[in-house]
Amino acid sequence: MEELISAIKKMKIKGDKVSVIDFLKVVMKLIPPSDDIGISLAKKGTHEYVLDRRGLAIISLSEDEYLPFFSASEKRVELDSLPDDVAKIVRNNWKEILDQLRDYVLDYSKIDKRYSKVVDEITDAVFKNL
């Protein structure tokens, strides 16, 4: 878990896009192996940036003009193409991102008990960086 603590410290000190991407790479490693888990990083208009264990996805929502429902499309992009303004949001909201991760890992630990330790490590990383 030292890797997470180090990535948070580096991101808080440097604050550049590279350190944010390094932080997200560490977070990706901690996401449980489930296709149902995605961490919301930021919302910009009709686009939501989501991090899952496979990388970064941009989810675009649109409301059908004539029908009463939404449609969504997903586009996979490389972490390097993360927009600067989204990187700034991630840098400022790192704790909320780890809170989402902790909640997902806590739920997953009910299936796989090995993840109980990961919950404690994420919590420790948050408290050591407040």
Question: Is pLDDT at 130 greater than 70 in this prediction?
Answer: no
Q: Is the pLDDT of residue 79 over 70?
A: yes
pTM: 0.89
Q: Which amino acid is at 55?
A: G
Q: What is the pLDDT of residue 45?
A: 87
pLDDT at 84 over 90: yes
Q: Which amino acid is at 117?
A: K
Q: In the predicted model, is pLDDT for residue 77 greater than 80?
A: yes
pLDDT at residue number 68 = 65
pLDDT at 125: 87
Buried b (16+ CB within 10 A) or exposed e, 87-112: bebbbeebeebbebbbebbeebbeee
pLDDT (tens digit, 9 = 90+) per residue, 43-68? 998 899 999 999 999 999 887 676 66
Cα–Cα distance, 20 to 91 (Å, whole number): 6
